[in-house]
């Protein structure tokens, strides 16, 4: 089942902060965050695993609330380069080799 992302779109000024949320109706075992710029491939940002382990970008932080089946991506002191569409990909079984189910994305635009 597809995770739900919010907000759908956000416009920021440089230096402002943003939070992007990803919610699942099923138990979450891993959440993968990607950023995609127009016409380009999704770029890996961060992976969060049930139990607290995180791997990824050192300038972006994220949280994983296992009880709420939700993850949030925190973008602080935004830069123009942060513009793009952010996707969360979720895995709901926690075993073996599994594909990711992606949300519809959050479009972020950072203005000067």
Contact residues for other proteins, defined by CB under 8 A:
2, 29-30, 32, 34, 40-44, 47, 49, 55, 87, 89, 91, 93-105
Name the residue among 77, 43, 50 with its Cα closest to residue 61: 77
Nearer residue to other proteins within complex by CB, 68 or 98: 98
Least separation in angstroms between residue 36's CB and other proteins is 9
What's the half-sphere exposure (Cβ side, CA atoms, 13 Å) at 7?
9
Least separation in angstroms between residue 5's CB and other proteins is 8
Distance CA 22, CA 73 (A): 8
∠ CA 9-58-74, rounded to 5°: 30
Least separation in angstroms between residue 98's CB and other proteins is 4
Nearer residue to other proteins within complex by CB, 9 or 11: 9
Cβ neighbours for 65, distance < 8 A, ≥ 6 positions apart:
71, 72
Nearer residue to other proteins within complex by CB, 15 or 51: 51
Nearer residue to other proteins within complex by CB, 70 or 106: 106
């Amino acid at each position: 089942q597809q995770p739900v992302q919010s907000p759908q779109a956000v416009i920021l000024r440089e230096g402002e902060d943003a939070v992007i949320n990803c919610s699942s109706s099923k138990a979450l075992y891993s959440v993968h965050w990607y950023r995609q710029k127009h016409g380009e491939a999704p770029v890996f940002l961060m992976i969060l695993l049930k139990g607290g382990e995180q791997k990824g970008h050192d300038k972006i932080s994220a949280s994983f609330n296992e009880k709420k089946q939700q993850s949030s991506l925190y973008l602080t002191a935004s830069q123009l380069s942060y513009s793009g569409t952010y996707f969360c990909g979720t895995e709901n079984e926690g075993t073996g080799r599994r594909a990711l189910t992606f949300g519809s994305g959050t479009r972020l635009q950072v203005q000067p």
